[in-house]
Amino acid sequence: MKRKILAVAIVLIMSISIVACGSSKKGTDTGNTGETTSIPEGKLKATSDKIPETTETTDNTDNKEAASSESEQDENTLAGYYKVISMTTDGEDITAELEQLAAIGSGIFAVINPDGTGQINMMGEMTDFDWDEKYFHMHDDTVSDTDVPYTFADGKLTIAQESDEMIFVRMTDEEKQAYDNGDYDKTIDQLTDEMLDSSYLPDMSSAKHNDTGYYEIMAFQEDSKTYTADQLKKAGVAFDMMLCPDGKGYANFIGTYYDLSWDDGTIYVATDQGQEKMIYFKSDYDSKSIITINDSNMAMVFEYVKEADPTYEWTGVSGVLE
């Protein structure tokens, strides 16, 4: 139900993990403190506390501006605009999820300037960095500065940490223009809002509502294995739903709430991919009133517990954690 939102979250979390867990923290290599001669010219941002200001810096301004134009055309020069084309985490390839993000105006990008500065854009969240021949020196207000190793060969920029890896290539001229226009700056909150706003439910207020009530899970079956309510509870798994008299309600699946609309025998759930229709059957079992929802892979049996809240209103969410 929430595959697309989960894809967004997974990509964000894994990308942050790769970049945030660098090989060293700022200030750990104290042996080089104050040694400016080891820093390649034009490869690390010059600041008053790192590199003394000289007239040479001013004299090189025109050269740097010229190099900026040349570097974008030189495949052997790192400076330029980049997009992620491949990403793996814990050995799992999530490139397909990245392609989904690109289609809806987000993703993971890097802008690398020839003056030794740059910026990582992770789904609209910007992180500045300085760079040299081996490391991106990431600057984040929320965590300590981090040194992230990279390699660059054959026009591909690779950031790898243990079993995680991101591979970048240069953007096309058209993609650079779109990036500068802000077309790839959508944040996870903006994406989630757009997903949710596009998935709303039919008005079932005039339909038949004989099965109103608050229901809790009685049994869950998947791949021919059945779990009782007690087993689910011990595992910390909660399933419940409420069918209100006006045709509205909610479904709570493992701590994630979905608005729903319903009539007798049919439930429409608002998910991040649109309306999901589920057929259910009402019956009596062992003096209990139950609702059964099933498909080819799983079945859920809900037991009537109490009357539904007649004043419940949709919360306007589709698969958002409590």
What are the structural domains of the chain? 3-196 (2.40.128.50), 201-321 (2.40.128)
In 130-153, which positions are buried (b, 16+ CB within 10 angstroms) versus exposed (e)? bbeeebbbbbbeeeeebbbebeee
Residue with tokens 């049996």, as numbered in its chain: 301
Give the per-residue pLDDT at 109. Answer: 93
Q: Could you tell me which residues come within 8 angstroms of residue 276 by beta carbon, excluding any fewer than 6 positions away?
A: 1, 268, 269
Residues 174, 112: contact at Cβ < 8 Å? no
Which tens digits make up the pLDDT trace of 204-263? Answer: 888 889 999 999 999 998 877 899 999 988 888 888 999 999 999 999 888 788 889 999
d(CA 291, CA 47): 68
- Angle made by CA atoms 240, 275, 309, in degrees to the nearest 5: 35
φ and ψ of 229, to 5 deg: -60, -40
**pLDDT tens sequence across 109-140:** 999 999 999 999 988 888 999 999 999 999 87
When pLDDT is averaged across residues 73-99 and rounded to a whole number, the result is 81
Cα(101)–Cα(23) distance, rounded to whole angstroms?
Answer: 28
C-alpha triplet 265, 267, 268: angle, nearest 5°: 145
pTM of the predicted protein model: 0.47
In this predicted structure, what is the pLDDT of residue 243? 95
- Helices marked H in the chain: 3-20, 55-59, 61-71, 95-103, 173-180, 188-197, 229-234
Greatest mean pLDDT range, 8-12, 181-185, 191-195, 238-242: 238-242
